[in-house]
Amino acid sequence: MELDFTPVLESWRYLLGGLGLTLLLSAVAALCSLAAGLLVGLGRTYGPAWLRVPLTFYIDSMRAIPVLVVLVWVYFAVPLLTGASFSPFWAALAALTVHLAAYVAEVVRAGLGSVRAGQVRAGLALGMSRAQVVRVVVLPQAVVRMLPAFGSVLSVTIKDTAIAAVIAVPELMRRSETVAGQSYHPIEVFTTAMAAYFLILFPTTRLVDALYGRVAHLGRS
């Protein structure tokens, strides 16, 4: 197998631009998913029934429907329904957030549930209101326990941005496809893309593991 990496080298600026967009989309999508997922998770755990039921339905539905399908539906179908059109980037951001927030919400629910009931009782016994107990006693401990899962949310987000290629978001995956198609050297191009993604993802998961190791004791009760 003869390998010729010159097409990769010739398009390095183009590919680097794609990498930049991958990182941007990942960061923004992760933040939005974490924020939205936290709210949904709190609503699912502590909310009234009229809130819990639709939220549970939403979360369970995202467990059934692939990201690809959500991406395609948001980009192609929503404009038809609402008349508004958006760029691939914003469609991808919306779709990724909708899909990932459900996952984050489940992480939040599990984290909140893992704090021992005795902790809640202790807070109430001190005279705190339910809301204060959640804010001051439960949430801080739960957040620490959720950190490893949050770290994997970041990892999943970065991997899911690659799927945004199917709706032509000009991130790394899409641009790699383009270069591969034009240069007739798909193996070299995709191998380079693999190296790039690995170099982003591997440290991300390691970093989260390391951070968790430092703060784990704060969440033990």
Instruction: Please state the closest distance from residue 212 (CB atom) to another protein, in A.
Output: 16
Instruction: Please state the closest distance from residue 33 (CB atom) to another protein, in A.
Output: 17
Decide: is 194 part of the binding site for another protein (CB under 8 A): yes
Nearest 5 degrees, angle CA 46-CA 49-CA 51? 75
Residue 85 phi, psi dihedral angles, 5° rounding? -125, 145
CA distances, 45 to each of 52, 106, 136 (Å): 7, 10, 16
For residues 54 to 73, the per-residue mask of contacts with another protein, x marking binding by CB under 8 A and - elsewhere, is ------xx-xxxxxxxx-xx
Q: 62 and 103 in contact (C-beta within 8 Å)?
A: yes
Q: Of 198, 209, 213, 215, which one interacts with another protein (CB under 8 A)?
A: 198
- Look at the alpha carbons of 199, 105, 34, 72 in this order and tell me if their dihedral is positive or negative: positive
Instruction: Please state the closest distance from residue 143 (CB atom) to another protein, in A.
Output: 23
Q: Which stretch binds another protein (CB under 8 A): 38-46, 86-94, 199-207, 210-218?
A: 199-207
Decide: is 111 part of the binding site for another protein (CB under 8 A): no
Instruction: Please state the closest distance from residue 109 (CB atom) to another protein, in A.
Output: 12
Instruction: Please state the closest distance from residue 63 (CB atom) to another protein, in A.
Output: 4
Q: 145 and 218 in contact (C-beta within 8 Å)?
A: no
Report the distance separating Cα 115 and Cα 164, nearest Å.
37
The nearer residue to another protein, 137 or 185, going by C-beta atoms, is 185
Report the distance separating Cα 188 and Cα 201, nearest Å.
20
Decide: is 177 part of the binding site for another protein (CB under 8 A): yes
Query: Looking only at residues 81 through 110 of this chain, which bind another protein when binding is defined by CB under 8 A?
Result: 81
**Comparing C-alpha atoms, which of 163, 159, 147, 119 is closest to residue 216?**
147
Residues engaged in binding another protein (CB under 8 A):
1, 60-61, 63-70, 72-73, 76-77, 80-81, 155, 158-163, 165-166, 173, 176-177, 180, 186-187, 190-191, 193-194, 197-198, 201-202, 205
